[in-house]
Amino acid sequence: MSTTTGSAPKTRIRDLDPSAKRKVRAAWYGMWLDLYDIYLPIVALTPAMMYFEPEGLSVAERLLINNFVFVLTLIGRPLGSIMFGVLADRFGRKRITEISVVGFSACTLLIGALPGYATIGIAALVLLLALRAIGGVFMGGEYTGANPLAMEATPRSMRGLVGGVIQSGYPLAYVSVSALVAVLLLVLPSGGLGDAYTTWGWRIPFIVGGVLGFVFFVHLRRGVEESQVWKESVRSKTKEKSPLRAVFVGESGKALAQTLLLMTGLWFGVQALTAATPTLLMNVLEMDSQQVTVALLIANLILAASYVLLGRLGQRVGRKRLLLWGGVVALVVGTPFYYLMVQSATSLNIVLVTITATVALVAVVGVFGLVPTYLTERFPAEVRSTGYGIGYSLALVIPSGYGYYMNWLSGFMPFEYTPLVLIVLGGVLTVIGATMGPDTRHVRMNDEE
């Protein structure tokens, strides 16, 4: 590959050429849409899950069902990431992103049209679980195509910033669905089986997500070009006939093992702070659902900003170093602030809950802003989508059982403190995983480097 000489390195999104800008915009939108759909059962359905459940369930049983709805999606994602990652390496990043977006958007729309337990009995819950599992498979294909597509078009000097911007779609998706649900809960009666939100209000966020998915599909079809790096791998005959086999051997195999360990640690922190916390605050500590929604909305806005800042910082100090220190910060800052958050919730002090939840969230999850860049750089073009997809999603399998680990741990400690164990485990694995891998900020991908 040739290098560009005599010009200053690009450092701002607006410095990108129009084609690269469209790819970065599409990757951010895809990340936002993917996570919007992921968070729907936690945020939009939690206040209305009684619509799908038989009466007389205990709090523990309801928590398990809520967790299972979420976990099924997470379990489907690794399968989808493996399948679609291989296809993206063989047939192109853009085409596979389009297919995956149509698939999970259709599932989201269908969920928004489901009847409840009172109408079709247990079949309502079965259909909800099935659609979430199928949708999870398609969700696993979105980032395996869209994120490498964007990063391969980004100059090396900007990859840290671009990766942080793309990953900011994650918490901003939570903010978006939380804001929409907060408004709906403000204007619609909720809490009872016959109330407006429980009967039909929860459907609105699902319909919005489905419609926006098809808008994204149109944008991809009309405005985004295929990856030039992928095309060059095809022309140079370096494209693997079997990317799945190739990613498990040689240097790619070593990279995969290391990223799986690193991502398992990061995902344990994410599950503790973003998946378990909303349900725990509302259903276990019995805080007002609207107050919790607003508090976590604020926390995730600040998290989104931290992703961009830490992504840029990783470009300067090195991604390995920052990931390693991220694991340390999760241990020494995240754990005490999570404890303080629970204490504040016990006293129903929403202001302190907001502050402590924000600090804990940034401390534990902030280095996730490096993930799109780091995972893309760890694998060569011919297996990049496969490696990215497996490293990102297969690592979710063990952490996705967080609800069951918490129930088991509650036999030894108060249930509301069980996420502390997950945070500690996640921090330790993050430190080990980061230590095992190289710094990747000097990896070359395209002709602008």
Question: Is the Cβ–Cβ distance between 161 and 305 less than 8 Å?
Answer: no
Cβ contact 63:279 at 8 Å: yes
Does some domain include residue 448? no
85 domain-assigned: yes
- In angstroms, the first-to-last Cα distance of the chain is 8
6 within some domain: no
Is the whole-model pTM more than 0.75?
Answer: yes
Encode pLDDT of 160-215 as tens digits: 999 999 999 989 998 898 889 888 988 887 777 788 898 899 999 999 999 999 99
Domain presence at residue 1:
no
Would you place residue 1 in the very low, low, confident or very high pLDDT band (cuts 50, 70, 90)? very low
| Mean of pLDDT over the chain | 87
Task: Give the mean pLDDT of 62-66.
Answer: 74
Report yes or no on 449 lying in a domain. Answer: no
356 near 345, Cβ under 8 Å? Answer: no
Q: Read off the CATH number of the domain in which 89 is found.
A: 1.20.1250.20
Per the structure, how many domains does the chain have? 1
Residue-number span of the structural domain to which 298 is assigned: 17-436
Query: Residue 209: inside a domain, yes or no?
Result: yes
| Domain-located, residue 5 | no
Write the DSSP symbol of residue 416. Answer: G
| 188 belongs to a structural domain | yes
As a whole number of angstroms, the distance between CA 289 and CA 278 comes to 9
Q: How many helices (H) and strands (E) does the chain have?
A: 21, 0
Cα–Cα distances in angstroms (integers) from residue 52 to residues 44, 48, 220, 385, in the given order: 13, 8, 35, 37
What integer pLDDT is reported at residue 311 of this predicted model?
A: 94
